[in-house]
Amino acid sequence: MVIKLKVELIMNSYKTIDGRGANVHITGGGCITIQSITNIIIHGINIHECKPAGNTNVRSSPGHFGHRGISDGDAVNIFGSKHIWVDHVTLSNCDDGLIDAVEGSSLITISNNLFTQQDKVILLGHNDAYTADKSMQVTIAFNHFGEGLTQRIPRIRHGYVHVVNNDYTKWKMYAMGGSAAPTILSQGNRFLAPDDEKSKEATKYENAPKSEWQKWNWKSEGDEFLNGAFFTSSSRVINSSNAAFFTSSSRSSSSSSASDISAKAVTLVPKLTANAGALKCKKGSAC
């Protein structure tokens, strides 16, 4: 099933797109917009070659349509929405980014996906001045960031991001970046650096001098670094006073809550990410 959307697919709250049991591709036109809604699951599909589309009337529900401008050309655009789960999706080669979450979006899980052939991969945060994104909480787990990715894996402006047990394969510029003092906890990830000696660093502190970014909260714990890869941590320690997520191995004794995802040993990453992307399911059999 190949679906070429003339315009964006604008979702409503409490909806699931589930491609299990079929080989579903959304490609060649507008893609998925999640705007000012809640409780969304996108699972088991392929999204690629998304293009800017719009400047026309677009239906957002059975009883409503309105004029929309031109979309950005993202695979999945999350705007002012919460409780979002993008799982077992294969994403590549879109005009803008693969997943954007902006304008107060939060409580997002990006898991078990395969990302390939893209410049800007994941953007979290509208802009540096948009402080409402300070409450953003995102978990990025068990994904395979494969060949042909350049940057923003992810790129965070504000908020709290737990990056856990992902497999990074030879980015072109950098893996994780940030610019407005976000908190990043990187746990149990495998970083395979590119051969280019100028791009070995997995991290990029943007728009801030060292005297400023040293006060941010970026921490690597249990990660594996191959082919010269390295992670530059900030000087502060992530703990219960400056982070909104905790794991069994890193939360303080004063914490009253924990992340739903605890990091596994980095040696398990190949197994954890072996089935990243859309599952090869057949109707009538278990995935």
pLDDT at 260: 61
**Catalytic residue list:** 152
Give the pLDDT confidence of 176-217 residue by residue, as tens digits: 999 999 999 999 999 999 999 999 999 999 999 999 999 999
d(CA 149, CA 172): 6
> Please, what is the average pLDDT of the chain?
91
Beta-strand relationship, 54-61 and 64-70 = antiparallel
- Domain ranges for the chain, please list them: 2-272
177-201 residues labelled b (16+ CB within 10 A) or e (exposed): bbbbbbbbbbbbbbbbbbeeeebbb
Maximal CA-CA distance, the chain = 58
pLDDT at 281: 82
pLDDT at 254: 32
pLDDT at 238: 59
Give the pLDDT confidence of 38-78 residue by residue, as tens digits: 999 999 999 999 999 999 999 988 888 899 999 999 999 99
Give the pLDDT confidence of 105-134 residue by residue, as tens digits: 999 999 999 999 999 999 999 999 999 999
The predicted model gives 218-239 an average pLDDT of 89
Give the pLDDT confidence of 4-19 residue by residue, as tens digits: 999 999 999 999 999 9
Q: What percent of the chain has pLDDT over 70?
A: 91
d(CA 279, CA 69): 34
pLDDT at 286: 78
Q: Are 155 and 135 in contact (CB under 8 A)?
A: no
Structure tokens belonging to residue 188: 């149990």
pLDDT at 62: 86
User: Is the pLDDT at 244 greater than 70, yes or no?
Assistant: no
pLDDT at 236: 66
User: Is the pLDDT at 252 greater than 90, yes or no?
Assistant: no
d(CA 227, CA 194): 7
The predicted model gives 267-284 an average pLDDT of 93
CATH number of 2-272: 2.160.20.10
